[in-house]
Structure formats: C-alpha cells, structure tokens
Amino acid sequence: MASVLVVEDDQFVRSALIRHLTDASHTVRSVGTALEALREVAHFRFDVVILDLGLPDLDGSEALKMLRGVTDVPVIIATARDDEAEIVRLLNAGADDYLTKPFSVEHLSARMAAVLRRARAGAAGAAPPAVLRVGGLTVDPLRRQAELDGIRLDLTRREFDLLAFLARRPGVVVPRKELLAEVWQQSYGDDQTIDVHLSWLRRKLGETAASPRYLHTLRGVGVKLEPPAADSARAEPPR
C-alpha cells in the first residue's frame, strides 16, 4: 500500500488511474494542474507521484523541475510523447521512470512496484553506511553527498545512487544487468537508461567516455569505478 499523487488533467484517464490504484489498496489523491501538484506535495507526504506532461497551466517537464526543488519523492512520468530526446531529458531532470501512453494497468503496477522497492530499500538501511573514497572522489551515502577533490557535486538522486553503488565496489566491473536490478530495481530494460545517467555522471566528474578518469565502460560487459591512473601510481609503494 502506498500514498500516490496522480497529476493528470484528462478526466477519463484520471478516473481510470484512481480506480485502478484504489482497487490495489493504494491511497490516492489527484489534481489536474502543476500548481495544484506543488501545493499537494508541500502539504502531504506521498510515496510516489504519477505525473502527466500535458498539463493546462505548466508543461509537466517544468513541473518536474519544480517538484525536484521541494521533494525527492519518486516521480513516474506518464506521457503520450515518445520522442527519445524528450525521454532522455526527463530522466536527466530527475524522473525515476516513465510510461508512454497508452499503457496497461499491469505495466503501471510493475513500474510502481519497482520504484517503491527502490525507495523503501534506501530508507530501510539498518546501520549508517561509511563514507566511500575512490581517489579524489568522496561519497557519503548517509548525507547523500558527493565531492570531487573537495568540491561538492550537484547530482540527481539517480546519479547519486549509481555513483554510490559503483563506489562500494571500486575496481570491480559491474554488469549492466546488475546495475538495472540494484540501482533501478528492474529485472529488465535497455541500456539507454544506464548510458544516459553514465553520460551525465561523467560530465559532472569532468570526464568523457573517450577520455575516462573514474568511470570506465567495458563494452558488452559492464561498468567500473576506479581512481585515475595517476592516483593509483602515487598510491603504489616504492620498490
């Protein structure tokens, strides 16, 4: 059971979502505009937000940015737009997942379950995790902060989750399937989701796929995080 905010201006779609979610024992509140959604998250605690993009007062992508400014509640985008660039932009802007309309209630349930598992798993840690250090990179899972050479990194929630997961296993090549399962809590999916977040994470680490420093992709295998070669060389004992 979860507390869900449905942000959808189409009354037919809105009613269908409310009915399905209520039948699944979720607590549902619904609004038809972006400004109403912002007021709702300011006054109530939700476990997940289902956000339509075609809202009458504000484009949903702008609403997503505003939501991310006041809350880290998981957001699932529900959109009729299937443009790849738009989807990538939404993921980079902080969306946790997206569904392209029309979608089945079973598909929505599966995506919601995955997002909620991830959120609850993050909140259920029994012991405060230790600060992780890889070269000049410092990751603090408890405070959800990361620094590179003493400078704070401005990361989205998913970027931080990905970085922290890799930092717990420095030098280890992590298969993409494992990243999907552990970071995204999905048993299936394409590589685009991972590639998008790796690209933006690289940019914030001051590197590129062609000239990696910390993040290294092994084509067809996976991804690893390790200190730059210069740092590793300095760390070796003299012979």
Q: How far is CA 32 from the centre of its chain?
A: 24
Query: The sheet that has 215-218: what strands, in order across it?
Result: 174-175, 222-225, 215-218
- At 88 the pLDDT is 79
Could you give the percent of the chain with pLDDT greater than 90?
A: 33
Question: Where are the domain boundaries for CATH 1.10.10.10 in the chain?
Answer: 132-235
- On whether the pTM is more than 0.75, the answer is no
> Is the separation of the CB atoms in 173 and 222 below 8 Å?
yes
Helices (H), 168-220: 176-182, 191-204
| CATH class for the domain made up of 3-123 | alpha beta
Q: What is the pLDDT of residue 107?
A: 85
Phi, psi (degrees; rounded to nearest 5) at 235 = -80, -15
**pLDDT digits 0-9 by tens, 110-124:** 888 888 887 766 555
**DSSP H/E element including 119:** helix 105-123
CATH 3.40.50.2300 occupies which residues in the chain?
A: 3-123
Q: pLDDT (tens digit, 9 = 90+) per residue, 181-217?
A: 788 776 666 667 888 889 999 999 999 989 999 999 9
Distance between CA atoms of residues 116 and 76, nearest Å: 11
Residue 181 token pair: 């399962």
For domain 132-235, give the fold: Arc Repressor Mutant, subunit A (1.10.10)
pLDDT of residue 36: 92
